[in-house]
A and B are shown apart, each in its own frame.
Chain A
């Protein structure tokens, strides 16, 4: 069964800490995404990667960075965690060609609480 695996389901971090969220996919997908999901705001794209070492800012990249050293792994980094980064973080991957109908495969999410 193909899957996207996020390293942690729940995470509690202190303000100012550097936080790493890891995502691994086993489907050889070119594209990988990081979203955050908040009530009333929907899914908001943080960063997108379309190839190894390639990345593109999404709608809300401030306070975040990403790393994609290998095709299967996409990491989200919170440089200095703040309480307004408390959220559900979702990783997704896809083959290229969403306009032809390819969909995203999502991980189960990481619920991050910053205290």
Chain B
């Protein structure tokens, strides 16, 4: 069974601070996705990374896929209260399954 471990599980920071969330596995994934979920809503796709070593930037958010395609990180610069939410990573298993493997999430709170 493929697993994705996210850390930290909870993160509470002040507005303006930087943070990094990690997503690790012993398995190789074809692609890695990051979602953000706000309270009472479904997750929304932020980004997909498909190439080992790939880095994508989305405004203040930087996503990286590990060279071996087993891990990923999400870095937020100068966090804002609007960044508050549950961040989920999800990996597409090798072999063509359409069922993503989800991490349990990192609950981020950015205090004004």
Given A58-B99, A100-B31, are A105 and B45 neighbors across the interface (CB < 8 Å)?
yes
Asked if B103 is at the interface of the complex by the 8 Å CB criterion, the answer is yes
B31 A98 Cβ-Cβ under 8 A: yes
| Residues in chain B near residue A96, CB distance under 8 A | 98
B102 A98 Cβ-Cβ under 8 A: no
Name which residue of chain B comes closest to A45, CB basis. Answer: B99
Given A43-B102, A48-B99, are A107 and B50 neighbors across the interface (CB < 8 Å)?
no
Asked if A108 is at the interface of the complex by the 8 Å CB criterion, the answer is yes
Across the A-B interface, how many residue pairs have beta carbons closer than 8 Å?
68
B88 A43 Cβ-Cβ under 8 A: yes
Name which residue of chain B comes closest to A48, CB basis. Answer: B99
Asked if B19 is at the interface of the complex by the 8 Å CB criterion, the answer is no
B31 A106 Cβ-Cβ under 8 A: no
Quote the shortest CB–CB distance from A112 to chain B (angstroms): 14
B92 A99 Cβ-Cβ under 8 A: yes
- Provide the B1-40 mask, 1 if CB < 8 A to any CB of A, else 0: 0000000000000000000000000000011010100001
A103 B48 Cβ-Cβ under 8 A: yes
Name which residue of chain A comes closest to B33, CB basis. Answer: A103
A48 B44 Cβ-Cβ under 8 A: no
A109 B42 Cβ-Cβ under 8 A: yes
| Residues in chain B near residue A100, CB distance under 8 A | 30-31, 50
Name which residue of chain A comes closest to B107, CB basis. Answer: A39
- Provide the B79-105 mask, 1 if CB < 8 A to any CB of A, else 0: 000000000101011101111101111
| Residues in chain A near residue B30, CB distance under 8 A | 98-100
Which residues of B pack against A, CB within 8 Å?
A: 30-31, 33, 35, 40-45, 48, 50, 88, 90, 92-94, 96-100, 102-105
5 residue pairs of the A-B complex, CB under 8 angstroms, read A43-B102, A48-B98, A98-B97, A98-B98, A105-B45
Which residues of A pack against B, CB within 8 Å?
A: 4, 31, 33, 40-43, 45, 48, 50, 58, 90, 92, 94, 96-109, 111
